[in-house]
Amino acid sequence: MGKRVGAAEFKAACLRIIDQMNRDHEPVTITKRGKPVAVLTPVREPFKRHSIIGAMRGSVLRFDDPFSPAADPGDWKAVRDAG
């Protein structure tokens, strides 16, 4: 079930409650006038930041000619300026 904490107590001791929650790995239910209003849960897996560099590695399925146009010029409908 986890721990229940009033909103005023949570506001006063937020960092201490978060640290205890991370040690105990138990969710904390925050209440207001005895009624639950929020649940603070610990992260089960450590948060990992992934670099965008190399994120697409291995995703190219076909590589014919990198310098050829991406589309046939006839596929484009361009409007000429009469000026």
**What distance in Å separates the CA atoms of residue 30 and residue 6, rounded to the nearest whole number?**
6
Which runs of consecutive H residues, i.e. helices, occur in the chain?
7-12, 14-24
Binned at pLDDT 50, 70 and 90, residue 82 comes out as low
- Number of continuous H segments (helices) and E segments (strands) in the chain: 2, 3
- Higher-pLDDT residue of 50, 12: 12
The 10s digit of each residue's pLDDT in 34-73 is 999 999 998 877 767 778 888 888 887 777 777 877 777 7
Inside any domain, residue 80:
no
Inside any domain, residue 45:
no
Binned at pLDDT 50, 70 and 90, residue 75 comes out as confident
- DSSP structure class, residue 41: -
Inside any domain, residue 48:
no
Total structural domains within the chain = 1
- Higher-pLDDT residue of 8, 67: 8
Inside any domain, residue 81:
no
State the CATH number of the domain containing residue 8: 3.40.1620
